[in-house]
Structure 1
């Protein structure tokens, strides 16, 4: 499944640079400018309008972005598809029979499994190629700074290192199949509230130690062909026109050689080209939002009067060509085999490994040989599992089990829907627990649900929250009165298990009343089966939280989200005063104990750690042994943390590894930290700095649960960039 196709055609970076220069020199200016615009494909009833006349009539595979090719020079048309969870189709292609709907990235973040993420990337790229798409708008690696952010389900975690490692493997998987992948959204696209007018304010050095470090490590590990900028401003300058971040950091200090594309409708001015933006994407959306397409007439006029130098125009084009040539997107052979059954297995394994058992008071797994009376309550569990909304939502083969229009304000309001994937959890539970009898209650009212709960041996209550692009949550409660339903059900029957389908933490006011809590996230098309397997014990849960679950928003740096509730188009400023101390790091700094810590996750077996040994040098290397001391096979995710650096208390994830063990089996694990996670960034010097002194290191089950600790002495040094 992970075999590289067109391997002989793929170019080395230097060869791709050389060929890009040679081809670009043969282009006319009209051809150069034609490559700098990406057009949104026709979506019926879209606010952007009908089919753009610049898209040739023979182009039938509509997509998120179309750029004409230059056949005389072997440059293919560029067609871009959303997104990180599969090939989306928000009405572009009426005859498309559907794609594999993989789990949300936050669920894959819970797997702590880079290889699994890579396999999913390979599968997504094969489905993209089968439709003629050579750019995949995947690789979401923004950090989950705020548990209300509507797009957190599209990102892996709150930790820079974990997010970078996983995002890089998705890019590697996609690009191994001859498809360019992006990393997005560069950077600080961490809230959706009035995102086109949001100014994300942060200390530049703290930015380098957090969100920018995520992109830096991911770029180094995967060399994505493209970077997508965000909608928001960073310290007063729009992400797509931020000369410091794009020219000085990304292309300068880091030496990035690919191209930078805008997000759709995120290019208000032509001079973004001078500040590092190489392609305007979704150009019609810019007309809708800003009243113009800056990279068409305005950019040409700037070039004619000498404000856009010829060298910069050539650089923009060469970067795009280099991305295509590096992965051999210009030399595609026959369409690769698309094994949809195999892709479903990958989606299922992602859902299995992403499910997190948060609490278990001897309630799970449910016995498969007892004639239990089980009440399944709420969450549309009789129809399917839910998905996040927006550009990342994937229509599965055969279509959704149901689509419920929610709506909302702003340009994304009409795209805010509750999507349901079949089969249903109720259907899969009846298969997994054949000796049980089931009642279903929709959770219509607390009183009605309690009646069903009372006459049952066990209750499985489903709690759902639809989150997505264009919206932040007002709080962490479950909508439509579900918290009240779960509370009433737990009062009626103490043997209550709650399954959550959310993209973010939930407030869980009923937490102390229920016997078990399972976070299933948005588990994709195979999610119902994975949930049933975990509840019945056919699969031992192994997911670990990639996001801290706070006790309340009072523990957050911003208990109240600036701008929440303001009309569409209102300028908003969010000051990320926590700097690099995101999520579990903030909890460690403030001493606030979370509801469930980053890295937390229970199992049906038990693991012990021993023989921790730590060496210094240029970095920290930790070696230890993991033993499965229980009676079931299972997977553990031991985590190494920095807890103190030369007298500075500082919590940092240094490394992790997913380890699968049989009962009684042991395995030695060795993890080496990226030196930048140990360091501070010195903006004045433009370098990273490790201070002389003693560094404390802990081996733990989460960011709050340490088992073994030790110390190591490091010599101070500076390095960069």
Structure 2
């Protein structure tokens, strides 16, 4: 789920809906958005099932249990997990079990003793692959394991755009660009659902920070929202067809996301014709009548809300007519439609847990890591590690035992165990997160990959011993870590625990130093001028050690590209530090000083003005004339690629056809990128298309990229819809968002598109 359990008031209240329900038969409302409602369509089938339900059965499906707090509330087995909704056997409606699942089938603090799963790298690593096939394979793997473990709804599919580099949950999302996030998010969702289970898409919308996420009011104009975060959701829904949409904790322009009629009904269900159901985030419901009429279809993890809003209160509201029976029927029918469309309705999960093919799945995790690791800097071709290096020292980061993972509801208890696990005593995630490493040792993997080379290990705690080891080696590899988690933003972008100073000192002692970054997102690198090689590993998953060894030794050439801008200093992003951090810190300190009155310290809603609007990430940097440390789309490899003979065409679509040649000495992967903008000199360029291709030395390929029309367009609230202004447009064929070495122009015809 998305829930931060420690920050939520846990009130299990309310009578059962059945006690108040009346047996009323009503034909389900036909939503205006349903354009495929033939007699055999999923919605038509759902309507027929709803028509056979009692009123009590309908109410039972629109709110779900939170298993850790729901003992005795169902005769069915409660698997310790995120959510549970009983089925209706007489109508064939299946029991639904929900699991957190951004990076694997989660088991955060080992609620299910001994249950492990395959842990993918962080979603930023998947995004860095720029490869929908990688995203789909990861989703298919997770969905397969979920089915084997008897889950049929996964709380996966996070596509919230990175607006702030300090967001504690950036690692779970797919970066700052709507086309990239939407495309890979859709592929991941499609992979999950290929197993006939439901994937959500989340968190709808603008869950862009974790500090104060339960109360923050995200403010942005309609056109800007449509052209950024909502476009990412729209593309992902079109490509992945998720069975459910999860609404967010925060407010959007004054209304809670889970009772925001504009988002849930006007945009999602009307403009996008979305047929499935909207579930709440865990603890994100604040009302009955307003939420139901706004478009919320199901209250998730009901024990985490202040009341069971969709239980007895909803039954009473239907009796009074403040929520119509037609709306109740629509809520239930949408739930069934999502299950039917994905196959979850008809394909039962196993009666008993099945052991997944963990060996095959580990290879999926490793391939994802290898595709997403980004070579940021490689001065003097220090990488791959030369065979002339006879003594290497590996320093810090617990690299002797494993690789770091991000914290929160996405935490996977990975195959192989957790060699390092540190509980938390403070912070928003303290009750459901631990600082956890996966048992994939980069040190062991390097020793295996480099037979005949002496690979020493120093933990970095003894400063003098560390520098002595660096001086005496031919090469130093220092592992830097930054743990981030759901429910807490990082206070700043520096590496914690004096790691910046340590890296700088190691580089002074050993000119051949490689920095490997295991971080949740961008960090500042004050030592960058001293360090000749930098590798961005993200959180590399349960085979991260093996993947890193393959990249560092050259067995696999790096091919990742940054899905997120790395700022040169903290002043460059629109907000230099988390909004509300000081307030949260003060409240936590007050609660700690007076535990008896801790429940009295309530954080009030506060606004965050997204002044950048649609110009998120690299667009902000271009608009403001800022030079980042590393731009979006940046990534090096062990060969070189040349582009030639570009031909740009206009008309109804904007395309560029060009030749790509591997002009280096080894096989490698290139990620050509197409950026577009009106030729007015003021509009920041946007990623319009991209592809990923592998070429052997000397190999040449002719490639065509065609811009997504909504990227070329602007959203016009007056239409309403998308409008492409007629006229000339700039097209940059580029290797990153700052590359303007090959820019051409073409003329587009004016046109409009539906919202």
The TM-score normalised by the length of structure 1 is 0.94
Deviation digits for residues 524-547 of structure 1 (CA, Å, limit 9, x no counterpart): 001111111111111100000000
- CA shift, 1:90, in A, is 2.6
CA distance in structure 2 between the aligned counterparts of 1:477 and 1:560, rounded to whole angstroms: 12
Call closer, same or farther: CA 1:72–1:576 in 2, change over 3 Å. same
Q: Which residue of 1 aligns with 2:435?
A: 418
Call closer, same or farther: CA 1:673–1:363 in 2, change over 3 Å. closer
Q: Which residue of 2 aligns with 1:450?
A: 467
CA distance in structure 1 between the aligned counterparts of 2:385 and 2:266, rounded to whole angstroms: 59
- CA shift, 1:493, in A, is 1.2
Q: Does 1:474 align with 2:491?
A: yes
CA distance in structure 2 between the aligned counterparts of 1:549 and 1:601, rounded to whole angstroms: 12
Q: Which residue of 1 aligns with 2:561?
A: 544
Deviation digits for residues 490-536 of structure 1 (CA, Å, limit 9, x no counterpart): 11111110000011111011111111000000110011111111111
Q: Which residue of 2 aligns with 1:398?
A: 416
Q: Does 1:691 align with 2:725?
A: yes
Q: Which residue of 1 aligns with 2:26?
A: none
Q: Which residue of 1 aligns with 2:63?
A: 37
What SS is found at the alignment partner of 2:645?
strand
- Runs of at least 5 residues in structure 2 that lack an aligned partner in the other structure: 1-36, 588-601
Q: Which residue of 1 aligns with 2:735?
A: 701
- CA shift, 1:93, in A, is 4.9
Quick one: which of 4, 12, 16 aligns to 2:42? 16
What SS is found at the alignment partner of 1:497?
strand
Call closer, same or farther: CA 1:587–1:140 in 2, change over 3 Å. same
Q: Which residue of 1 aligns with 2:182?
A: 164
Quick one: which of 194, 205, 230 aligns to 2:223? 205
CA distance in structure 2 between the aligned counterparts of 1:418 and 1:90, rounded to whole angstroms: 11
Aligned pairs for 1:334-345 within 5 A: 335=350, 338-345=356-363
Q: Does 1:512 align with 2:496?
A: no
CA distance in structure 1 between the aligned counterparts of 2:339 and 2:367, rounded to whole angstroms: 31
| Preserved CA contact (<8 Å) 2:416 2:439 | no
After the TM superposition, which parts of structure 1 deviate over 6 Å for at least 4 consecutive aligned residues?
A: none
What SS is found at the alignment partner of 2:684?
strand
CA distance in structure 2 between the aligned counterparts of 1:459 and 1:647, rounded to whole angstroms: 46
CA distance in structure 2 between the aligned counterparts of 1:407 and 1:264, rounded to whole angstroms: 22
CA distance in structure 2 between the aligned counterparts of 1:517 and 1:509, rounded to whole angstroms: 13
CA distance in structure 2 between the aligned counterparts of 1:24 and 1:164, rounded to whole angstroms: 33
Q: Which residue of 2 aligns with 1:563?
A: 580
- CA shift, 1:561, in A, is 2.8
CA distance in structure 2 between the aligned counterparts of 1:363 and 1:646, rounded to whole angstroms: 40
Deviation digits for residues 375-425 of structure 1 (CA, Å, limit 9, x no counterpart): 111111111001000001111123212212244223x22334221111211
Q: Does 1:27 align with 2:53?
A: yes
CA distance in structure 2 between the aligned counterparts of 1:427 and 1:12, rounded to whole angstroms: 59
Call closer, same or farther: CA 1:53–1:191 in 2, change over 3 Å. same
Deviation digits for residues 69-112 of structure 1 (CA, Å, limit 9, x no counterpart): 00000000111111121100135653453110011110000000
| Preserved CA contact (<8 Å) 1:425 1:528 | yes
CA distance in structure 1 between the aligned counterparts of 2:509 and 2:528, rounded to whole angstroms: 15
Call closer, same or farther: CA 1:519–1:14 in 2, change over 3 Å. farther
Q: Does 1:312 align with 2:321?
A: no
Quick one: which of 515, 519, 523 aligns to 1:498? 515
CA distance in structure 1 between the aligned counterparts of 2:416 and 2:466, rounded to whole angstroms: 32
Call closer, same or farther: CA 1:555–1:314 in 2, change over 3 Å. same
Quick one: which of 535, 551, 573 aligns to 1:534? 551
Q: Which residue of 2 aligns with 1:348?
A: 366
CA distance in structure 2 between the aligned counterparts of 1:436 and 1:561, rounded to whole angstroms: 45
Q: Which residue of 2 aligns with 1:106?
A: 124
Q: Which residue of 1 aligns with 2:708?
A: 674
What SS is found at the alignment partner of 2:203?
strand
Q: Does 1:378 align with 2:396?
A: yes
- Number of residue pairs aligned between Structure 1 and Structure 2: 698
What SS is found at the alignment partner of 1:260?
strand
Call closer, same or farther: CA 1:416–1:672 in 2, change over 3 Å. same
CA distance in structure 2 between the aligned counterparts of 1:85 and 1:372, rounded to whole angstroms: 37
| Preserved CA contact (<8 Å) 2:415 2:542 | no
The TM-score normalised by the length of structure 2 is 0.90
Q: Which residue of 1 aligns with 2:71?
A: 52
Deviation digits for residues 44-75 of structure 1 (CA, Å, limit 9, x no counterpart): xxxxxx4432133x415332110000000000
- CA shift, 1:13, in A, is 10
| Preserved CA contact (<8 Å) 2:137 2:191 | yes
Q: Does 1:280 align with 2:292?
A: no
Call closer, same or farther: CA 1:673–1:553 in 2, change over 3 Å. same
Deviation digits for residues 271-314 of structure 1 (CA, Å, limit 9, x no counterpart): 2111111111111111xxxx322112211221121111000000
What SS is found at the alignment partner of 1:20?
helix
Q: Does 1:259 align with 2:240?
A: no
| Preserved CA contact (<8 Å) 1:370 1:435 | no
CA distance in structure 2 between the aligned counterparts of 1:60 and 1:268, rounded to whole angstroms: 26
Q: Which residue of 2 aligns with 1:186?
A: 204
Q: Which residue of 2 aligns with 1:223?
A: 241
- Runs of at least 5 residues in structure 1 that lack an aligned partner in the other structure: 1-10, 43-49
CA distance in structure 2 between the aligned counterparts of 1:534 and 1:582, rounded to whole angstroms: 31
CA distance in structure 2 between the aligned counterparts of 1:565 and 1:13, rounded to whole angstroms: 57
CA distance in structure 1 between the aligned counterparts of 2:296 and 2:518, rounded to whole angstroms: 37
Q: Does 1:433 align with 2:450?
A: yes
CA distance in structure 2 between the aligned counterparts of 1:145 and 1:443, rounded to whole angstroms: 34
Q: Does 1:326 align with 2:341?
A: yes
- CA shift, 1:488, in A, is 1.3
| Preserved CA contact (<8 Å) 1:13 1:326 | no
What SS is found at the alignment partner of 1:22?
helix
What SS is found at the alignment partner of 2:41?
helix
- CA shift, 1:338, in A, is 3.6
- Between 1:554-563 and 1:243-252, the stretch displaced more is 554-563
Q: Which residue of 2 aligns with 1:605?
A: 639
- CA shift, 1:677, in A, is 0.4
CA distance in structure 2 between the aligned counterparts of 1:38 and 1:707, rounded to whole angstroms: 55
